Amino acid sequence: MRRLHLAAGGATLAVFLLTGAYMRFREPPVGQLAAGEHLMFLSRHIYILAAAAANLLLGAYVRSAEKRPALWLQRAASALLVACAALLVAAFIREPVAGRARTMASTLGLYALFGGTVLHVVAALWDGAARERREAAG
């Protein structure tokens, strides 16, 4: 699980850097666009950074849960967080060019980011509580 998140986070961070370079060197540069278009590029760019950060943090710190229900929650959460990166990159590519404020890519990507984060927290608390009960029982 850690390797998956490190790989996804590293790849997403690389895409974040590439999208930043694209925004700077495209014609016209994003900074010269109308406010609405400018904001659309920047917000999608920051969404990619959020996905990269979440995956990198999990790759650095997550450990597999010992209890089966918590492990299944972790796996579902990890799938959501890896998928959110792909969805948010797709949103950066598609939405500003199409001139749409939001498509399903960014909506689902943001929900996946939120849901994956919350499920990882729940799984960690659930597994930690089980671990504490087991240690207390001796």
Q: Is the pLDDT of residue 138 over 70?
A: no
pTM: 0.88
Confidence at residue 99, expressed as pLDDT on a 0 to 100 scale: 65
Structural domain count, the chain: 1
Q: How far apart are CA 19 and CA 41, in angstroms?
A: 9
Residue range 83-122, pLDDT digits in tens: 999 999 999 998 877 666 677 899 999 999 999 999 999 9
Which strand (E) or helix (H) includes residue 107?
helix 104-137
Query: 37 lies in which domain range?
Result: 2-137
Contact 91, 85 (CB under 8 A): no
Q: Is the pLDDT of residue 128 over 90?
A: no
Q: Which residue carries 């849901």 as its tokens?
A: 115
Q: How far apart are CA 77 and CA 58, in angstroms?
A: 11
Residue range 60-70, pLDDT digits in tens: 999 888 888 99
Which strand (E) or helix (H) includes residue 14?
helix 2-25
Q: How far is CA 108 from CA 87, 115, 120, 126, 132, in A?
A: 7, 10, 18, 26, 35
Confidence at residue 103, expressed as pLDDT on a 0 to 100 scale: 79
Contact 65, 29 (CB under 8 A): no
Residue range 33-50, pLDDT digits in tens: 888 888 888 999 999 999
